[in-house]
Amino acid sequence: KGKDSLKQVQAIRIKQTVPEGALITDEMVESIEVNPALIPAEAISDLAQVTNRYSKVPIFAGDYLTSDKLTDELTALDPMAVATSKGLKVVSITLPSLAAGVSGQLKPGDIVTIMASEKQALVDQTQTLNPKEQNQATSNSAETNLGSSTTKAQVFLELQYIEVCSLTASDGREAHVSKTLTDDEKNQLPVTISLFVTETQAIRLADLEQRGEIHLSFVARGKDATQFMPDNLRVMNAEED
């Protein structure tokens, strides 16, 4: 029995199942003594090597943590998986025109505001973007008579600040717009845009996609985006310099 106790080593074990891209915190793990024959040779024994790192793959409750299951940055991970770990969904919407998508100048990770013109009046949920625009509220809700219906441009509270996932051209490839092209290149104009959203935002966007015309406005890019969306809610921020 004494010999067996000498063989015990420390190992870090996860207490709950986590998806790919999850931030590992102290509450998720435990340090236990275990026979080395029962754990992987590369099992981590120091809590400091585990906490505040990200899961590179799904890790199941009771698994011992190893270096190949963890990463220091999210850049190597699939953005879709990172979104899932943050409780977000990915929704694609149609861009009715080049102008509606900021003339092809948007990039993944950008923060945008989504506006919509609808042919059916909705409950007024417009909101100006900042206090200085309080006197410009009419620009957020401009009405134009179209026959027997009324089109109303709105900025919805839940769609004020949304992170861009990707932009796709008509052939399904990644959209690309450049001011300087070689003879062999051509612009791939975006026709759809995919966004990281909550369930509430996804429902609103699906409704607007069917009932109205969507228009995007650029808000921020890179580190400036933190002013509008906390880093812990963003997906693409790990790719910033």
Q: Give the residue-averaged pLDDT of 140-164.
A: 67
* pLDDT tens digits for range 106-115: 888 999 999 8
pTM, two decimal places = 0.59
pLDDT of 172 > 70? The answer is no
CB 125 within 8 A of CB 160: no
C-alpha to C-alpha distance for 32 and 12, rounded to whole angstroms: 6
Instruction: Quickly state the pLDDT bin for 200 (edges 50, 70, 90).
Output: very high
pLDDT value of residue 46: 93
E strand segments, 73-148: 89-94, 111-118, 143-146
C-alpha to C-alpha distance for 44 and 24, rounded to whole angstroms: 14
More confident residue, 150 or 15: 15
- Lowest pLDDT segment from 65-79, 101-115, 145-159: 145-159
* pLDDT tens digits for range 131-143: 445 444 444 444 4
More confident residue, 241 or 50: 50
Nearest to 55 by CA among 36, 77, 29: 77
Residue identified by tokens 């013109």 is 117
pLDDT value of residue 233: 84
pLDDT value of residue 121: 47
Q: Which domains does the chain have, with CATH numbers?
A: 2-72 (3.90.1210.10), 80-239 (no CATH)
CB 208 within 8 A of CB 115: no
Instruction: Quickly state the pLDDT bin for 7 (edges 50, 70, 90).
Output: confident
